[in-house]
Chains A and B, each alone.
Chain A
């Protein structure tokens, strides 16, 4: 699987948009970009995923660059409850070996009132 690079931490003001970057310059054509978050010490929670088109759901938007070498997760109106560690992962989905996933250190996002 392609490696990802994320900033260690970032702050965001409550009510503002939070833009979380992820670099995946070695991504392959059949690899998806997934985002998860982990609030405090709970189990990670799926947020969104995409292949090459931008995606939006009730939690966030995912913007993938045209060359697919980087992406940005956007939390449109951050709340205090969005304070968490955010993980960006790239993976295929077709083969059993695609499930050998490990989550890196992620980005610690702190939303401030």
Chain B
């Protein structure tokens, strides 16, 4: 059981480039989300999804796109990278509603640097 898998673990981009951070979970979780964590800060929610075909914005959605075509995958797209998007990105998933404990399962993070 792999849990939540994020790729790549490290990425360096130039300003204006685009890229996709991949997130996959094998726990059949309905809910998936993306967070970013800047140095010395807590985690801020970017986008989330409560099921395939359903996505919504979090606290800091600007500059990012998401889609949820399958239960397992929730990719995060940076359309035109900016230095302000230099951060560590975490993907998380959980069961929805009252299923399970409501626990969020996190990936190991993707460290992005935009030059």
Contacts and interface: CB of A to CB of B under 8 A. Distances in A.
Contacts of B40: 105
Interface in A62-113: 87, 91, 93-94, 96, 99-106
Interface residues of B, number: 31
Interface string B74-94: 000000000000001010101
Given A43-B109, A100-B58, A91 B102 contact: yes
B68 interface: no
B108 A102 contact: no
Contacts of A103: 35, 42-44
B42 A43 contact: no
A43 B97 CA distance: 23
A82 B86 CA distance: 28
Contacts, number: 68
B104 A46 contact: yes
A46 B100 CA distance: 13
Contacts of B58: 100, 102
A42 B108 contact: yes
Interface string B32-58: 010100001111110010100000101
Given A43-B90, A106-B42, A49 B104 contact: no
B43 A44 contact: yes
A53 interface: no
Contact of A49 (B44, B88, B102, B106): B102
A102 B50 contact: no
Contact of B104 (A44, A104, A105): A44
Contacts of A49: 101-103
Contacts of B43: 44, 102-103
Contact of A44 (B31, B41, B56, B90): B90
Contacts of A96: 50, 56, 96
Nearest to A44: B106
Interface of A: 32, 34, 36, 41-46, 49, 87, 91, 93-94, 96, 99-106
The 4 A-B residue pairs with the shortest CB-CB distance, nearest first, are A43-B106, A103-B43, A46-B103, A103-B42
